[in-house]
Amino acid sequence: MNIIIAERIKELMKEQELNQVKLAEKIGVKQNTISAWLLKKKEPCITSLWLLADYFDVSIDYLVGRDND
């Protein structure tokens, strides 16, 4: 599942022209946390998924690959 999450986060970051530092600032996590997600070393916890979903205005289901909308 972390492959899908990483790809979805990368896609959303690209759409909004965000780098890791900016996204980290926006959702209140450290840049190295974003890096670990994108490198598929860690998966976001449920709280981080909520923050990402709210920030990008998508569902958690979309982030984890259960929904394509």
Q: Which CATH number fits domain 2-61: 1.10.260.40, 1.10.3470.10, 3.90.1150.10, 1.10.1060.10?
A: 1.10.260.40
Give the residue, 1 or 47, on which the prediction is more confident: 47
Task: Give 14-59 pLDDT, tens digit per residue.
Answer: 999 999 999 999 999 999 999 999 999 999 999 999 999 999 999 9
Q: Residue 38: helix, strand or coil by DSSP?
A: helix
Q: Residue 34: helix, strand or coil by DSSP?
A: helix
| pLDDT of 2 strictly over 70 | no
The pLDDT of residue 24 is 98
Alpha-carbon gap, residue 58 to 33, rounded angstroms:
20
The pLDDT of residue 54 is 98
The pLDDT of residue 67 is 84
Q: Is the CB of residue 38 less than 8 Å from the CB of residue 14?
A: no
Question: How do the domains of the chain map onto residue ranges?
Answer: 2-61
The phi, psi pair for 67, rounded to 5°, reads: -145, 145
